[in-house]
A and B are shown apart, each in its own frame.
Chain A
Amino acid sequence: MGRIFVLLLILGLFALLGLFDRVKPLPWSDQEKAQIRTLVLPDRMELQKRIVRTGNAYWNDSQALELGKALFFDRRLSINGEVSCATCHQPDKAFTDGKILAEGVGIARRHTPTLIGSALIPWFFWDGRADSLWAQALGPLEDPAEHGTDRFAVARIIAEHYPAEYEAIYGPLPGSLKRDGKAEPNQINRIFANVGKSLAAFQSTLLPEPSRFDRFAKELLDTGESDLLTRTEQQGLKLFLDDKKGQCLRCHNGPLFTNSDFVVTGIRDSNIPVGLGRLAGIRKVLDSPFNCLGLFSDTPNQCDELIFTKKQGPELTYAFKVPTLRQISKTAPYMHNGSFETLNDVLHFYNLAKPQYDQAEIGEKAHLDIEPLGLASGELARIEAFLRTLEAD
């Protein structure tokens, strides 16, 4: 009887704590409210206005979107007929795959990032080696570890399986391609680029949806308080915003919770010292025939992102792209090498700020953008609780 009483007492205490956690709002300073305002997800119409259209006149073309959607799920676009874009970018996993490294026809070099919100950022791949969503879409097709196919095979698949859909958008396919599967290299490149533009048109529809955080933020900004986040989650948000504590907002800012920049966080790449991160990425994008300034770009006069991006300096060596935190609880494992199984692992890594490699491996004066946070494990747990509120409703 005594044990049951104690058990009931404990259960009651937990229930009270839970209630307290939910109903007791925290005070928010003007500075914090101003920070929160910059994080709220705009409505879908505003998000569409913000889509980065670099080089792609077809980003909003409904026929291009439909073709892109069909191509996204088409396994014929691979050397073994078994891999599509959706193999790694699975819709039910927030367009990721749950794997450490992407698995196409082989094991890829890096972890699969989400596609949600990808149309809203200017740089692609973990090392930023593409400056548009359409140019990015071409990379995995020819990567021996991903689709393992090539642009000639892709063009033949278009001519064989999608000629009417393609020609309705982009004009006639070369007669020789339809007749005997042959075409000039630049004709092939044009078709390949248009495949990328169609895939990008489809991916431009994968916009983030509001989360419980967004509803909390709107209520807080409108009325001065909100209990739509628990006290623990609100405490986590405060730590997230605090430049002396969590320091998260430095890089994870704006409505996508990313500044789309490239930073050195000490995460090992699969290939040291060849994997130079953004430094290698910028060299590749400048050399790419599919960049914004290239022959296949529809906006060669609107390439300021490429023209003004940083092209040299120690900060680029081993720098990788800051990912969005929206849907982060659905996109484990984490980091560009997929080395952390849980958000807890990620937060403990940032708390210690100890690189996964010996600094000497990438140069004695290697740049590092993070510093130890010195947070208690309870504080890390609160930040994690907040991050989980970024999951779409």
Chain B
Amino acid sequence: MAVFPGQASESRFKAVSEKGSFTLHVISSGETSLNQLLTWTARLVPANGQVRKTFQVLRDPADYIIAGGMPAHGHGLPTEPRVTDVRFDGRGEVILTLKGIKFQMWGDWVLSIDVPALQDRAETAFTLKP
């Protein structure tokens, strides 16, 4: 699991989706303090042309669902973060703005993006440390 020092100005985590249709890259922005609302970015890289075409119509933030938590503690995120912006780059990759993320503890976290239209989800895992 990636170790993520909170004082890092940027960290990146990567995971292939469960069905392999896309790769998720989660990118932190600025120092990650506990108990503060954070705005991060997610980049979804389609595995093939078919998925790229599907992504082209998924332009509503509600097409993407964020979840997360600390599995070992049995709890989720303390907030309900949402996708607030969907953009596409020249290669057909999806760039999502994730608002309302908060971590209230140091330790092992997961953060996932679910794409119901693809019936697929990807989950990144990292250890947040001071």
Q: Are B100 and A261 in contact (CB under 8 A)?
A: no
**B106 / chain A contacts, CB cutoff of 8 Å:** 35, 243, 249-250, 253
Decide yes or no whether A27 CB sits under 8 A from chain B.
no
**B104 / chain A contacts, CB cutoff of 8 Å:** 251, 253, 259-261
**B78 / chain A contacts, CB cutoff of 8 Å:** 259, 261-262, 309-310
From A1-9, A266-274, A300-308, the one touching the partner chain is A300-308
Q: Are B107 and A304 in contact (CB under 8 A)?
A: no
**A309 / chain B contacts, CB cutoff of 8 Å:** 78-80
Docked complex Cα distance between A38 and B105 (Å): 12
From B14-22, B44-52, B69-77, B118-126, the one touching the partner chain is B69-77
Q: Are A369 and B73 in contact (CB under 8 A)?
A: yes
Decide yes or no whether B99 CB sits under 8 A from chain A.
yes
Main secondary structure of the interface of B (DSSP, over half): loop
**A251 / chain B contacts, CB cutoff of 8 Å:** 104-105
Q: Are A259 and B75 in contact (CB under 8 A)?
A: no
Which of B35, B73, B75, B100 is A304 in contact with, Cβ under 8 Å? B100
Decide yes or no whether B129 CB sits under 8 A from chain A.
yes
A interface size (C-beta, 8 A): 26
B123 to chain A, nearest CB (A): 18
Q: Are A369 and B35 in contact (CB under 8 A)?
A: no
Docked complex Cα distance between A243 and B128 (Å): 13
**B79 / chain A contacts, CB cutoff of 8 Å:** 308-310
| A263 nearest CB neighbor, chain B only | B75
Docked complex Cα distance between A232 and B27 (Å): 42
Decide yes or no whether B116 CB sits under 8 A from chain A.
no
Docked complex Cα distance between A35 and B130 (Å): 6
Which of B34, B74, B102 is A308 in contact with, Cβ under 8 Å? B102
A131 to chain B, nearest CB (A): 13
Which of B74, B105, B129 is A250 in contact with, Cβ under 8 Å? B105
A-B contact count, CB below 8 Å? 66
Can you list, as one digit per residue, whether each of B75-102 has a CB less than 8 Å from chain A (1) or not (0)?
1111111100000000000000001101
**A34 / chain B contacts, CB cutoff of 8 Å:** 129-130
Decide yes or no whether A225 CB sits under 8 A from chain B.
no
Which of B34, B73, B76 is A310 in contact with, Cβ under 8 Å? B76
Decide yes or no whether A31 CB sits under 8 A from chain B.
yes
Decide yes or no whether A315 CB sits under 8 A from chain B.
yes
Docked complex Cα distance between A155 and B73 (Å): 48
| B108 nearest CB neighbor, chain A only | A243
Q: Are B107 and A250 in contact (CB under 8 A)?
A: yes
Decide yes or no whether B117 CB sits under 8 A from chain A.
no
| B7 nearest CB neighbor, chain A only | A34
**A310 / chain B contacts, CB cutoff of 8 Å:** 76-80
Q: Are B35 and A259 in contact (CB under 8 A)?
A: yes
Decide yes or no whether B62 CB sits under 8 A from chain A.
no
Can you list, as one digit per residue, whether each of B30-71 has a CB less than 8 Å from chain A (1) or not (0)?
000011010000000000000000000000000000000000
User: Which residues, 242 to 262 on A, are CB-close (under 8 Å) to B?
Assistant: 243, 249-251, 253-254, 259-262
Docked complex Cα distance between A101 and B37 (Å): 33
Docked complex Cα distance between A366 and B35 (Å): 25
Decide yes or no whether A313 CB sits under 8 A from chain B.
yes
Residues of B within 8 A of A (CB): 34-35, 37, 73-82, 99-100, 102, 104-107, 129-130
Sample of 30 A–B contacts (CB below 8 Å): A34-B129, A35-B106, A38-B130, A249-B105, A250-B73, A250-B107, A251-B104, A253-B35, A253-B104, A254-B34, A259-B34, A259-B105, A261-B78, A304-B37, A304-B99, A304-B100, A305-B37, A308-B37, A308-B79, A308-B80, A308-B81, A308-B102, A309-B78, A309-B79, A310-B76, A310-B78, A310-B80, A313-B76, A367-B75, A369-B73
Given contacts A253-B35, A308-B37, could you give 14 more A-B pairs where the C-beta distance is less than 8 Å? A35-B106, A38-B130, A243-B106, A249-B105, A251-B104, A254-B35, A259-B35, A259-B104, A304-B37, A307-B100, A309-B79, A310-B76, A310-B77, A367-B75
10 nearest A-B pairs in the assembled complex, by CB-CB distance: A308-B100, A259-B104, A34-B130, A261-B104, A308-B79, A38-B130, A250-B105, A259-B35, A261-B78, A304-B37
Residues of A within 8 A of B (CB): 31, 34-35, 37-38, 243, 249-251, 253-254, 259-262, 304-305, 307-311, 313, 315, 367, 369
